[in-house]
Amino acid sequence: MTIATPASEQTAFVLVPVSSASADTRDLQLSITDGELSDTTGRWDVSREGVVDVVAAASARIGNSALSFVAPRGKLTLSPVRSELFMPGTVIGDFSIDFWLKPVRADNGEIVFLYRSTLQYGRQRFAQQMTASINRNRMNFAMFNFFIDPAGRETSISLQGRSLLVPGRWSHHLVRFSVDCGLFEYLMDGRLEAVSYVTSTGREGGTVFAPVAGASTRFDLAPNYTGLLDEFCLSNVYIDEPDIGRYSRAGGLVVSPVFDLGGPNTRLQRIDMAASIANEAAVHCSYRLADSSLGWTEMEPEWQAFLPGQSLAMAGAAEFPTGRYLQLRLDLYPDAARETTPTISALDVHFRLDDLPPAPAFVRAVAGDGRITVQWSAVSEADVRAYVVYYGISPGYYYGTGAIEGSSPIMVADVHATSLVLTGLRNGTLYFIVVAAMDSANPPQVGEFSQEVSARPSRTTQ
C-alpha cells in the first residue's frame, strides 16, 4: 500500500536550495515572490527599470527564481530606506557583498552593479563610485572614494580576478572588507582571487581607511549585463567562510502525517522507497508505530531506523513490530559538494492487519430455573485473552438486560473458561445467545460471533 507520495507525479521529495547568508547579518537580500521584487530585510527600496525578466526554479541557482537581464534593456535600482550600512554619513565598518552570476557571454565591459553617491567630508566633496564589471572575462571590483583617507586625498582601490568567467555556468562572487586591519578581498567560488589592504601604507599595519556612505546613494544592478543573477546580498559582517553549496550541510527533513493502518496490533512488515540517490548523498529512514497516537511529541514514541526494502522482523525472531498508527521520517543529506539532492518519488508500506479471533466452533445453551448455562469450545488462537457472551430476546439483537451477571455483552476474563451461567432471567422468555473470543490487542478486538443458540428458562426442565 502506497501511503506517502509527493504532491503530484511531477514532483518528489527533494532538498530545497537555501541561501548561505545569515538573516541576522543581512542588510539587503533580493527576493522574488510571484514575479514581484523586494528586499527581504525591508531596508532597501527595489525598483525595476526597463525589461527585467524572472526565470523559474529550474534555471535558478537558489530558491524558486532568478533574475534575467539583457543589456541594455533593463536594470534594477536599489535605494536605502533603513539600511544600517549605506545611510548617508554612515561609517560602514565590516561589510560583504556577494551574488551568483551566470553570464551569457561574459563580454568585456559588462557591468554587474554600479554604486554611486556623493560624500561631504569636512570641506571637501567627493564623488563616490563602486563598480563590479567584467574585464577580459574576469571580474573586476573598483572603488573610487568609497574608502576615506583621513588626510582628505582621493582613494582608488581595485580587485581584479584571476579565474575566467565561463558563459552559461553559475559562479559565486564575494567581496569582503575587515575594518580591523583594512583587509579587502575578492573570492570566486570560495577561492581567493585578489587581496588589497586599504591603509595608509597599502599594507597590513597602516592607518585603515574606513568606508563611509555618501548621500543620494543607489545601486544600479545589471545596468549593462546579459545573463542570470541570483542571491544578491549585502551583509554587515566580514564573511569569513562563504557557504556556496547549493544545499545546506544539515540536509533536510521530511515527516509524514500520522497514518491509520486500519486496526490495532497491525504487523508492519516492510517499507519500500523509490528514490534516486547519487554520489555521497544519503537518506536516513525511520518510523514510529503505536496503537494510540495520543500524546505523541517530536521524539516520543522513539523513532526506529529502517532500511528500505528489508524485512522489519525483530532481530533473531519472526515477529514484526505492531501498532495501528504509523509515522515516517526521512532525513535527506546532499553529496559532499552539496550540489546534488536525493530524490524520493514514493514510499510503499507493507503491513498486515491483525486477524480477528475465530468464533468458537461449538456453543450450547442449557435452560434452567431462571437461568441459562452457556457452554462453548475453546479458541486456540495464541492472543485470545477473554471471551464475550452476548444475549438478547430477539434473533440477531443481543442487547439483553436482567441477568445478575450484567447486561449484554458480558466479558469472561478467564481465558481458560468454556462456560458461563446467566442467572436472574425471566422464566418463559426465549433468549438468543452468541459467544465470541477477544484478543490481546490494545484496544482489544472482539472476534467473529459463534452460531446463534437459544434457550427458554423454566421452573421445570425437560
Does 80 score more than 80 pLDDT? yes
Do 193 and 76 share a structural domain?
yes
Tell me, yes or no, whether 280 and 336 share the same domain: yes
The answer on pLDDT for 102 being more than 80 is yes
Concatenate the DSSP letters of all residues of 24-66 into one string. TTEEEEEEEETTEEEETTS-EEEEEEE--EEEETTT-SSTTEE
Same domain, 316 and 417: no
The pLDDT tens digits of the residues spanning 324-350 come to: 999 999 999 999 888 889 999 999 999
Residue 108 resides in a domain: yes
Among residues 140, 96, 143, 137, the alpha carbon closest in space to that of 115 is found at 143
pLDDT score for 113: 97
Residues 72 and 211 in one domain: yes
Whether 264 has a pLDDT exceeding 50, the answer reads yes
**Per-residue pLDDT, 278:** 87
For residue 247, being part of any structural domain is answered with no
> pLDDT tens-digit profile of 232-249?
999 999 999 888 888 888
**Quick one: 61 and 194 in the same domain?**
yes
* Distance in angstroms (rounded) separating the CA atoms of residues 318 and 305: 18
The reply to whether 49 and 157 lie within a common domain is yes
- Region 87-98: what's the mean pLDDT? 92
Domain membership flag for residue 345: yes
> pLDDT at residue 38 above 50?
yes
199: part of which helix (H) or strand (E)? Answer: none
136, 276: one domain: no
What ranges make up the beta strands (E) of 291-342? 304-306, 322-323, 325-333
pLDDT at 45: 95
pLDDT for 19: 66
State the CATH number of the domain containing residue 448.
Answer: 2.60.40.10
Rounded CA separation 259/374 (Å):
41
**pLDDT mean over 180-201:** 96
Average pLDDT, the chain: 91
* Phi then psi dihedrals of residue 324, to 5 deg: -105, -35
Contact in structure between 13 and 347 (CB atoms under 8 Å): no
Same domain, 61 and 35: yes
12 domain residue, yes or no: no
> Residue 147 falls within a domain, yes or no?
yes
Q: Which structural domain, as residue segments, surrounds residue 22?
A: 17-235
Please say which residue of 179, 200, 235 terminates a domain: 235
**Number of domains comprising the chain:** 3
pLDDT, average across residues 309-328: 84
Shared-domain flag, residues 346 and 368 = no
The alpha carbon dihedral of 424, 427, 430, 433 has a sign of positive
What would the mean pLDDT of 346-373 be, rounded to a whole number? Answer: 93
Q: Are residues 188 and 306 in the same domain?
A: no
Angstrom distance (rounded) from CA 428 to CA 423: 14
pLDDT band at 22 (very low <50, low <70, confident <90, very high): low
> What b/e string do you get for 96-126 counting C-beta neighbours within 10 Å, with b at 16 or more?
bbbbbbbbbebbeebbbbbbbbebeeeeeeb
In percent, how much of the chain has pLDDT > 70?
95
Confidence of residue 372 (pLDDT cuts 50, 70, 90): very high
Query: What is the rounded average pLDDT of the residues 409-430?
Result: 95
Set of cell numbers at residue 302: 522513539
Among 235, 270, 287, the domain boundary falls at 235
Q: For strand 183-188 and strand 191-197, is the pairing parallel, antiparallel, or unpaired?
A: antiparallel
Specify the CATH number for the domain of residue 102: 2.60.120.200
As beta bridge partners, residue 367 has 372
Q: Integer distance in angstroms from the first to the last C-alpha of the chain?
A: 57
Indicate the pLDDT class of residue 8, thresholds 50, 70 and 90.
very low
443 compared with 416, residue with greater pLDDT: 416
Identify the domain boundary among 352, 371, 399: 352
Using pLDDT thresholds of 50, 70 and 90, give the confidence band for residue 263.
confident
The predicted structure's pLDDT at residue 315: 60
Residues 231 and 256 both lie in one domain: no
- Check whether 139 has a pLDDT greater than 90: yes
Same domain as 385, residue 342? no
**Residue 186 pLDDT exceeds 70:** yes
When pLDDT is cut at 50, 70 and 90, the band that residue 382 belongs to is: confident
Tell me what pLDDT residue 442 has: 76
Cα–Cα dist 317/296, whole Å: 28
Rg (CA), the chain: 38
- Predicted pLDDT at 318: 62
Any domain includes 39: yes
More confident residue, 314 or 135: 135
Find the CATH number of the domain harbouring 306: 2.60.120
11 part of a folded domain: no
Q: What is the reported pLDDT for 97?
A: 96
Q: What is the rounded average pLDDT of the residues 154-181?
A: 96
pLDDT on residue 339: 87
Would you state the pLDDT for residue 21? 58
Residue 357 domain flag = no
pLDDT at 4: 45
pLDDT of 354 higher than 90: no
